[in-house]
Structure 1
């Protein structure tokens, strides 16, 4: 893919201002948790997902471009990723990695996108 990982896909209309906190997150093969934090900034859009007991309570950072659709009525986010892909993603520590450009580039590369970590 050549799109910037840190932008929502132009193929669906993300409604700017929608608070995604608490939305359930669905991988291709099942639920992975709920949105704990999100950003809708241009070139810096992402969701932080609390995976609960699924992967021992760790959080994962997902670039906005990994989201295939958002169902506002059901408060669910759908991903083009499998649970295994998410579980094997670079380990995320919010205090250390959220604003770290090198980590963002690593995550974007892992998910097959260009970096473009945006202004941090």
Structure 2
């Protein structure tokens, strides 16, 4: 995927100073939800996506390295993942996992093994 799954790819036109909250998030095979929260911290960027009714209102944390494109005009973010990959990701519980280095390592391992073809 990338050397650092927590950093945006150089090919992603990341616009700074833009609040991504509310942006629609699309996997390669369909929508997965909307951005609820995000961090742009260098080398530690991520999105918390509320999947709504798609997977029973579950939230998922996606490292910035999973992002394949951002369309500011359409307020849409594309990720180089399938819906199944998002659904099968390690469970995210905001109060337990946000800022937890062990969870971050677990996610980095999961998303770090996604084949290049999804990007």
TM-score, L = length of structure 1: 0.91
CA distance in 2, matches of 1:75, 1:64: 16
Equivalent in the alignment of 1:4: 4
How big is the alpha-carbon RMSD for the aligned residues of Structure 1 and Structure 2? 1.0
Q: How many residues align structurally? A: 113
Equivalent in the alignment of 1:20: 20
CA distance in 2, matches of 1:59, 1:13: 25
CA distance in 1, matches of 2:103, 2:23: 25
Give 1:52 deviation, angstroms.
Answer: 0.3
Q: Which structure has more helix as a fraction of its residues?
A: 2
CA distance in 1, matches of 2:21, 2:3: 25
Contact 2:25–2:35, Cα closer than 8 Å, also in 1: yes
Give 1:2 deviation, angstroms.
Answer: 4.3
Alignment of 1:1-120 (within 5 A): 1-112=1-112
Contact 2:12–2:67, Cα closer than 8 Å, also in 1: no
- Structure 1 window deviating more from structure 2 (13-22 vs 68-77): it is 13-22
CA distance in 1, matches of 2:29, 2:11: 22
TM-score, L = length of structure 2: 0.91
* 4+ runs deviating over 2 angstroms: none
CA distance in 2, matches of 1:9, 1:17: 18
